[in-house]
Amino acid sequence: MKKVMLLIAVFLFSCLIITGCSGDKTKATAEKTAAKSDKLVIYSSHPLTMINSFVAEFEKQNGVKVEVVAAGSGELLKRVESEKANPLGDVFWGGTLATIKPKANLFENYASVNEDKIQPAFKNTEGPLTRFTDIPSVIMVNTKLIGDIKVEGYEDLLNPKLKGKIAFCDPSKSSSSYEHLINMLYAMGKGDPEKGWDYVKAFSANLDGKLLSGSSAVYKGVADGEYAVGCTYEEAGATYIANGAPVNLVYMKEGVISKPDGVYIVKGAKNMENAKKFIDYVTSKEAQNIVVNQLHRRSIRTDVEPPKGLIEKSKINIINDDETVVMANKTKWLDKFKDIFTSAK
């Protein structure tokens, strides 16, 4: 009997060893497969022309095949949230910090290898929020349509001659329009956002029921002559100016909020190592020089010169918001804007 029990014990112990070894091999194989992934899925709200400038070079340098899903930042953020149990995207590229910070728990902590070269104001101190570029909000003007209408800031957008001729996107779908809403509240409220809502009501009335569905519709609409003016971000307008379009940029005299957009790794990304490589690439000096010289954006690095042809930041009336207040009130402010716009239609 003892001999039989001993044989059974030896058999069971052998099974445990085999199972353990098999488990180790399976785990090692999975880790090896993950480490050698040649794929990367990017969710991005940037224009495809801009995305392609970086993706082609990244693929070439890393032997990675990139799939891009392009849409508005609000739409993509909802997608990341709905997929959090089974992430289908690896990188979220775009969206200002005001848009992403309230949902920072959807993204992985990661500090790029370039953090020591990032300007102090743009360092990733939170963990998952890597900055990509510095983006002032601006008013884009079609010089052929504007005629003798003066546009120097937000107050001028209330001119009755501009009713129905202002391109503005739904701020719940576009981070650039949400930044403009914040900018309006602080600039027209003279630092107190709650005092800026009277302006938002008047502005909404002058939209004449027209609210666009995506950021690109704003700058394209102005450049193509569908609208005389539009509330957008600097790079969008600067690109059209560089290409000879009849547009110019106005930095609101009441005050301009300049915020960075970012690039973030989706929590639980299936292609994690490639996602990290992408963060490192777009924050590199090579990529940031592309940002300045080809895309007319302002770099977040200390060793990259400002873009030529754009006004020096020191000459812009820069104002600041209170990020704590903005984060705490995002849902409330978006709902309030929706109610105001609906009532004004």
Among 128, 96, 95, which residue's Cα sits nearest to residue 112?
128
Domain segments of the chain as ranges: 35-134+260-310, 135-258+316-344
Domain 135-258+316-344: CATH class, spelled out: alpha beta
In eight-state DSSP terms, residue 306 is: P
pLDDT tens column, 5-59? 333 343 334 443 344 444 444 344 334 444 577 999 999 988 888 898 899 999 9
Task: Give the predicted TM-score (pTM) of the model.
Answer: 0.74
Tell me whether domains 35-134+260-310 and 135-258+316-344 share a fold: yes
Q: How far apart are CA 308 and CA 298, in angstroms?
A: 10
CATH topology of domain 35-134+260-310: D-Maltodextrin-Binding Protein; domain 2 (3.40.190)
Extract the tokens encoding 310: 């754009």
Sign of torsion over alpha carbons 289, 294, 257, 261: negative
Position with higher pLDDT, 302 vs 20: 302
pLDDT tens column, 72-104? 888 999 999 999 999 999 999 998 887 898 899
Residue with tokens 């709650």: 194
